[in-house]
Every structure is written in structure tokens, then in C-alpha cells.
Amino acid sequence: MVPNDIAAYVSRRFAPNEQGHALRELASAVQADGTPATAQMLRCALVNSSGQLATLQFELSWLASSSEDVILNAEFGRQNGAWTPGGHPKLPQSWPGQNPPAECAGRMDGYTVS
């Protein structure tokens, strides 16, 4: 089962006929060490997917081998040739209508609100 904010994001961004498949893929996603993917990792894969099921599947397979790359591409942007945290145009500043995820409590990292 995926967190409510992730399920809501899927319902807003994916085609209705792909939502169930996307949620099943997210629920079974794993990290490189074989442990379940964290909610942060799932959010990053979702943002990188741009609402495309094939791209989500790619991101989740990439997550299973290199979670750092998936997170880097979602949470950081490039400015003047350097990686900078936050402000990436693909990353929502909050998950509308949702409380911040527990692992983000007290942080302003693109998923939480101040």
C-alpha cells in the first residue's frame, strides 16, 4: 500500500486506465538492497515520470539499482553548471491537500509546506 498523498498524486497525473497499474508498481518498488522503497523515493520516481507509466516503470527499475540517481534528478536542479537543492521545475512545492510526510517533518524540501 502506498501513502495517501502518493495515491492522490497518481490519480491526478496518470491516465485513469493506468492508475491501478501505477499504484501496484509503486507498492512493490524496492531499493538496491531489496528493501521496500521509502515514500521519499516513490515521490521522486513519480515526479521524474511526468505521469507516464512507461517512464515510472523505468524510474522504479532505476530505483532498484541506484536510488541516489532517482532522488538527485527529482530533488535537485542545475544552476550555472552545479547541482543545487530545491527549486527543480518538476518538483511540486507541496502535495496539495495533504499533510507533510513524517520523514519530512520540520523540513522545507519540496514536499513539505513551511
pLDDT in tens, 78-102: 666 666 665 444 444 444 334 444 4
| Cα distances (Å, whole numbers) of residue 61 to 36, 65, 81 | 13, 7, 27
Domain ranges within the chain, ordered by starting residue: 4-104
Residue the block writes with cell 501496484: 24
| Residue 65 pLDDT exceeds 60 | yes
Q: How far is CA 70 from the centre of its chain?
A: 8
Cα–Cα distance, 80 to 70 (Å, whole number): 21
Mean pLDDT of the chain: 76
Torsion over CA: 68, 63, 15, 97 (sign): negative
**53 touches 22 (CB < 8 A):** yes
- In this prediction, residues 53-70 reach a mean pLDDT of 89
Cα–Cα distance, 101 to 82 (Å, whole number): 28
Query: pTM of the predicted model, to two decimals?
Result: 0.69
pLDDT in tens, 13-35: 999 999 999 999 999 999 989 99
